[in-house]
Structure 1
Amino acid sequence: MAKRLFDILFSAVVLLVLTPLLLAVAVWVRLDSPGPALFRQVRVGRGGREFRILKFRTMHVDAPARGPQITAGRDPRITRAGHVLRRYKIDEFPQFINVLVGDMSVVGPRPEVPRYVAMYPTATRELVLSVRPGITDLASIEYRDESELLGRSADPERTYVDQVMPAKLAYCERYVRERSFVGDIGIIGRSFAASFVSR
């Protein structure tokens, strides 16, 4: 209950304070390339329930038909605005709306698409999906340059499935087992530093 209350208050304050920025980004995305400002994608949430995650659109509208669900390196499907939004994780900001409606938490295991969740080991899937997914987590911090890592692979999707995903899941399992309010605050602080201070 305390975590949910924190999620609601934190998200409401962020959305209120950042409204001018969010509106400006939405206009930028629309002007930069044809298509909507927001991108919606089905992800798997707590208990295996699917929901539509919100992001600022960072790829051309025909991107799903032109390649895999993961992005690697300087993916040509990414728009000019998209490169900037991804670099500073600004594309994730609309997910505070997902937090407000109860689909997500501020901190928690990042939600995956159904295709990759189906590959999780059974015990791992049950543990990771026992909590609300989050906007940020330990794996997001440690793998904040995941796209560049995959860009160096001859087979990015295979590298993701065989190497990156298992490593990220280990962080997710650790978070679920050790989660605490103090720990969440620390992750929020580290996420901010990784996205803005160290760039």
Structure 2
Amino acid sequence: MHSNYFYVKRFCDVLFASLGLLVLVPFLLPIIILLKYTSEGEVFYKQERIGTNSKAFYILKFATMLKNSSNIGNKNLTVRNDPRVTPIGRLLRKSKINELPQLWNVLIGDMSFIGPRPLLSKGIGMYTEEARNQILSIRPGITGIGSLIFRDEEQLVTLYNQKGYDTKEYYQLHIFPFKGEVERWYVSRQSFWLDIKILFATFWSIATNKTNFIFNLFPSLPKRPVFLTLNYLSKL
């Protein structure tokens, strides 16, 4: 990969993150006020994630769950219709508006617009060493090929959990091995054109709530295992 790509990508990240924050201020302020005076008064949620070269940073999101939710119920596992998610939080999560504060993470260099999704340390630990080293060699992203493919991750985990199976095992045996494959696919093929396609695919998936088109748009992607389909899980 030519070094100019990384310099220009960083320039674009700073430029569009700055413009995004400025333009979105009138839109973000009502959300901030709404969160401040509803639910438990929490506006932002910070969580430690692992970034470039294994450096930890705090990812920023709008608060969508009850305080101390990581220590109650399913802890760090969020399932569909999770009772810990607030009514406003449910809307923010579905529309992905809760991710907008990450523009700040992009601006200060923790993240990029496009890249592997940053994980908790225990999540990164589920990757093989080879996958971990490759994925952590670049900035994580607000969106990316892994985010697109696993947009239904919450549904998959919820259904697996409802069937009475061990969700931790599901992550270890099925979700993280494939997630590692697709994130490495991106790292090895980075380009401006690929980033543009992923960005537009993200907007399309949010607008249509569909992800099946991803494998047609990127035909060289590793094939999705049957264990990671809602159709298969529903028949267990």
TM-score of Structure 1 vs Structure 2, range by shorter chain:
over 0.9
Mapped pair 1:163 → 2:174: yes
Aligned to 2:61: 55
Report the residue type matching 1:147 in the other structure. Answer: E
Q: In the alignment, which residue of structure 2 is the partner of 1:30?
A: 36
- Report how many residues are paired: 198
Aligned to 2:208: 198
Q: List gaps (5 residues or longer) in structure 2.
A: 1-6, 210-236
**Native 8 Å contact 1:45 1:133 kept in 2:** yes
Question: In the aligned structure 2, how far is the partner of 1:17 from the partner of 1:180?
Answer: 27
- Aligned mates of 1:21, 1:136 — CA distance in 2: 21
Structure 2 Cα separation of the partners of residues 116 and 149 of structure 1: 17
Partner of 1:142: 149
Mean CA deviation greater in 121-130 or 17-26: 17-26
Q: Does 1:173 align with 2:180?
A: no
**1:73-127 per-position Cα deviation (integer Å, ceiling 9, x unaligned):** 1111111111111111111110010000000000000000011112221100000
Displacement of 1:46 in angstroms is 0.2
Q: Which residue of 2 aligns with 1:84?
A: 91
Alpha-carbon shift at residue 165 of structure 1 (Å): 1.8
Q: Give % identity.
A: 38
In structure 1, how many angstroms separate the alpha carbons of the residues matched to 2:98 and 2:78? Answer: 14
1:169, 1:32 → 2: CA distance? Answer: 38
Deviates more, 1:77-86 or 1:26-35: 26-35
CA positional deviation for 1:160? 2.4
Task: Give unmatched runs, 5+ long, in structure 1.
Answer: none
> How big is the shift at 1:13?
1.5
Structure 2 CA distance for partners of 1:174 and 1:78, relative to 1, 3 Å:
same
Give the 3-state SS of the residue equivalent to 2:41 in structure 1.
coil
Q: 93, 117, 121: which is aligned to 2:128?
A: 121
Answer with 1 or 2: which has the greater Rg.
2
Moved segments of 4+, more than 6 Å: none
Q: Indicate the structure whose relative CO is greater, using CA pairs within 8 Å and at least 6 residues apart.
A: 1
What's the offset of the Cα at 1:30? 2.3
Aligned-residue offset at 1:62: 2.1
Secondary structure (helix, strand or coil) at the match of 2:142 reads: strand
Instruction: Indicate the larger mover: 25-34 or 53-62.
Output: 25-34
CA distance in 2, matches of 1:16, 1:130: 30
Report the residue type matching 1:39 in the other structure. Y
Instruction: Find the aligned partners of 2:54 and 2:136 in 1 and give their Cα distance.
Output: 6
Q: 1:3 and 2:13 equivalent? A: no
| CA deviation after TM superposition for structure 1 residue 181, in Å | 1.0
1:10-29 equivalences under 5 Å are 10-29=16-35
Which of residues 25, 42, 45 in structure 1 aligns to 2:48? Answer: 42
Alignment of 1:188 onto 2:195: no
SS of the residue aligned with 1:43? strand
Q: How large is the RMSD of aligned CA atoms in angstroms?
A: 1.2
